[in-house]
Amino acid sequence: MRVRCAEKEAYWRKVVRRQEESGRGVRVFCREEGISEASFYGWRRELQRRDRKEERSTAVGGGGACPSPFVALRVVPESTSVIEIVHPRGYIVRAPAQVDSDALRQVLAALDSVEEE
């Protein structure tokens, strides 16, 4: 699972803004600033994607907050025969307390690999 680094995102937003305000082409700007062109283009595309996603989530009432890298767990007494896992993307997985750990690992890995819209 990818976790956003707020400092890195802020840094690249400033770099992209400086390039736009400079009036220089990307190639010249990157060479003069000592920045990889590939990194610049990759980050510019990623920031545009994030901005579009933010606009969509705000338009439908979402908060636009970054998902937490932590998984919420609820401790339940041993007598309970079901475990519940709340995935950071909002999925809820309920399984018998005696679930096969390999099967549960596969389910969680599949949820991590689901593409975000």
Split into its structural domains, the chain has a count of 2
Q: Which domain holds residue 79?
A: 72-113
Taking the CB of residue 43, how many other CB atoms lie within 10 A of it?
19
| Residue 1 binned pLDDT confidence (cut-offs 50, 70, 90) | very low
Tens digit of each residue's pLDDT (9 = 90 or more) over 78-107: 656 888 888 777 788 888 878 888 888 888
Same domain (yes/no): 40, 85:
no
How far CA 37 is from CA of 14, 25, 45, 54, 113, in Å, comes to 15, 11, 12, 25, 29
* Confidence tier at 19 by pLDDT (50, 70, 90): very high
**Within a domain: 64:** no
Per-residue model confidence (pLDDT) at position 36: 92
- Cα(69)–Cα(87) distance, integer angstroms: 10
Q: Are 98 and 54 found together in one domain?
A: no
